[in-house]
Each structure stands twice: as structure tokens, then as C-alpha cells.
């Protein structure tokens, strides 16, 4: 077994800094630490979504998302060790294949969709929005330092996958999607 934590608290972060795996200390509000935290939050959100996917018809969705959690942990490791690159083009291609497979089973999108319809659908949309935030934090870091461009693309594709997964959950559950209904314009406006 690899690295083992013997103590949960170290007191080394009490001054507002945290340590990277290479020994460097950064402020907890540093863009790298923000990106790490957002990826960790996304991983937790996907874990929550997985916990809601207990129905037998949702097993394919569980099987799709379980490896994603491991890749997100890898991405967090990349961020903790500047210069390390684990996420690669094959990981992006795997997400694209999943997106294409799910999307082939869906009706064409004709309206904007709101998060809701069932708990699992809403959790998939929540994970999608958290993924978008993680991507934005990653882009902030990319503006300051060299980062793995494949990881950046991976986060972008993952948000797309989570969107089609939300739609697929609705299809598999037989739950109507919640369609956006714009506010009517007052009479006389163009």
C-alpha cells in the first residue's frame, strides 16, 4: 500500500497555507489550491450522485461514473504535484465515447432543460454545474502557470457527459424533463 495518513490534523495549515506534494507551501486561496478544492468538490458531488443511482435501470450510469471518480482523484494528484500529467487524450476520448453513446439514445434537444424531475436528475445537473466551476478554477490557474491541457479538456467534456447523463437518467426512469418556460413578454413588446 502507498502513503498512509497516521494523523488527520497536522496544524501546518493553521496559518492559512497548505503544502503541495513537492513540499512547496501555498496560500489556501492560491489558484492551484482553489482548483484542487473544486476538483475535490466535484468528486464528492459525483459520489453523492452515485449514491442516488440505486435503481437497476441506472446501473450503466453508475458504471460510467465510477471510473470518473478515480480520474478526478488523479487530476487532484496532478494539481498537488506541479508538472505531473496523468490525464491524457485517451481519458478525453473515453468521455467522448460515453457522451456519443448516451446521446444516441436521447431525443434531440429542442428546449432548455432545468435541473429537476427526480433527485438523481437534479444531482446530475448539480454535478455538471460544479464541474463547470472546477473548469473555471482550472482555467484561472492555467492563466498563471503551465497546466495539463488534456486535463482542462477533460473537465470540459465531463460537464458535457454529466448533462447527457442527466437527460439519460430521465429517459431511463421514464421521468419527464423539466423544460424552461420563459416569462411571457408584456403585450406590445417586440
Q: How many domains does the chain have?
A: 1
Give Cβ neighbours of residue 32 (< 8 Å, ≥ 6 apart): 20, 26, 79, 82, 141, 145
DSSP state of 108: P
Q: What is the dihedral of CA 126, 128, 132, 135, to 10 degrees?
A: 120
Residue 38 lies in a domain: yes
**Helix/strand/coil for 1:** coil
CATH (domain of 55): 1.20.1200.10
How far is 135 from 92, CA to CA, in rounded Å? 14
Residue 135 lies in a domain: yes
How far is 49 from 55, CA to CA, in rounded Å? 12
pLDDT tens digits, 116-140: 999 999 999 999 999 999 999 999 9
Range of the domain at 77: 27-178
Residue 140 lies in a domain: yes
Dihedral of CA 99/104/110/111: which sign?
negative
Q: What is the dihedral of CA 45, 46, 52, 55, to 10 degrees?
A: 170
CB 53 within 8 A of CB 68: no
pLDDT tens digits, 38-96: 999 999 999 999 999 999 999 999 999 999 999 999 999 999 998 899 999 999 999 99
pLDDT of residue 185: 86
pTM score, whole prediction: 0.87
Amino acid at each position: 500500500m502507498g502513503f498512509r495518513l497516521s494523523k488527520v490534523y497536522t496544524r501546518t495549515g493553521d496559518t492559512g497555507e497548505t503544502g503541495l506534494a513537492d513540499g512547496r507551501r501555498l496560500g489556501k486561496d492560491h489558484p492551484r489550491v482553489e482548483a484542487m478544492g473544486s476538483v475535490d468538490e466535484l468528486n464528492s458531488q459525483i459520489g453523492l450522485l452515485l449514491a442516488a443511482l440505486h435503481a437497476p435501470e441506472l446501473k450503466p450510469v453508475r458504471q460510467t461514473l465510477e471510473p470518473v471518480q478515480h480520474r478526478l482523484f488523479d487530476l487532484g494528484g496532478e494539481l498537488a504535484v506541479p508538472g505531473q500529467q496523468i490525464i491524457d487524450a485517451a481519458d478525453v476520448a473515453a468521455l467522448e465515447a460515453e457522451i456519443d453513446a448516451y446521446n444516441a439514445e436521447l431525443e434531440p434537444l429542442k428546449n432548455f432543460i432545468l435541473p429537476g424531475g427526480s433527485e438523481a436528475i437534479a444531482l446530475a445537473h448539480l454535478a455538471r454545474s460544479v464541474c463547470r466551476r472546477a473548469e473555471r478554477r482550472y482555467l484561472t490557474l492555467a492563466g498563471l502557470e503551465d497546466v495539463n491541457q488534456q486535463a482542462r479538456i477533460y473537465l470540459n467534456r465531463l460537464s458535457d457527459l454529466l448533462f447527457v447523463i442527466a437527460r439519460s437518467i430521465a429517459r431511463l426512469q421514464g421521468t419527464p424533463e423539466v423544460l424552461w418556460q420563459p416569462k411571457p413578454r408584456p403585450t406590445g413588446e417586440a
